[in-house]
Structure formats: C-alpha cells, structure tokens
C-alpha cells in the first residue's frame, strides 16, 4: 500500500499528521534532498512539500518529475505563498490540454 508524506517546517506540516500522513520537519536543503531521495525510493505515492523548501531543492524535484511516482506537490507554508504551487498546476494543465486555460 502506498503512503503519503508532508515535508517542511514544523508549523506548516504538523497538521498533516492528523490526516494520517507521515510528517517530516525539514528546513535545510541538504537534508531535504536526502529525504526526498529516500521517500521517492520508498512506498510513497504523494509527497507534499512546502513551497519555501521546494524552492531550495528545485533540481532534485525536476529529476523526480520525470518519474511516475511519487507525485510531489508544493503547498504554501505558514510563512506565505510563493506561487510555486500554482505555477506547477498551470504547467500541468498546459501539458495535458495544450493551452493555458487556468
């Protein structure tokens, strides 16, 4: 059975534990890269990551985007929205539909 995880600062991802997700409190880029590799090689189908942390490890996320699993989804953290999540959704829509309809 596949699992789901949330990665980011404690304040942003702590609540995901109540939903049954595995939560990982990470703020450093090196630690986040290692964790993403470990989760991607494991049984994780969906990984939520705060936009602030995702910005720090863009290259690692670009490599993971080529794989079928896991789906890595940037989410806003408690420190604000960088717009990265919406840009990712918009890019996915353009790939699927062929034009920007969002």
Asked whether 63 and 45 are in contact (CB, 8 A), the reply is: no
CATH number at residue 33: 3.40.50.10580
Range of the domain at 28: 3-97
Asked whether 5 and 12 are in contact (CB, 8 A), the reply is: no
Is position 37 within any domain?
yes
Terminal-residue alpha carbon distance, the chain: 33
pLDDT digits (tens, 9 = 90+) for 31-81: 999 999 999 998 999 999 999 999 999 988 888 877 888 988 889 888 777
Give the number of domains in the chain.
1
Is position 58 within any domain?
yes
Is position 102 within any domain?
no
Q: Say yes or no to pLDDT of 15 above 70.
A: yes
Is position 47 within any domain?
yes
Of 21, 29, 19, 20, residue with least CA distance to 9: 29
- The residue written with tokens 């600062």 in the block is 9
**DSSP string computed for 50-91:** EHHHHHHTHHHHHHHTTSSSPEEEEE-BTTB--SHHHHHHHH
Is position 29 within any domain?
yes
């Amino acid at each position: 059975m596949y699992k789901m995880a949330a990665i980011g600062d404690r304040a942003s991802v702590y609540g995901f534990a109540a939903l049954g997700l595995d939560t990982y409190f990470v703020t450093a880029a090196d630690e986040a890269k290692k964790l993403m590799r470990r989760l991607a090689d494991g049984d994780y189908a969906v990984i939520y990551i705060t936009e602030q942390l995702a910005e720090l490890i863009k290259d690692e996320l670009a490599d993971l985007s080529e794989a079928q699993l896991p789906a890595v989804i940037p989410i806003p953290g408690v420190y604000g929205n960088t717009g990265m999540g919406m840009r990712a959704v918009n890019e996915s829509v353009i790939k699927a539909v062929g034009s920007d309809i969002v």
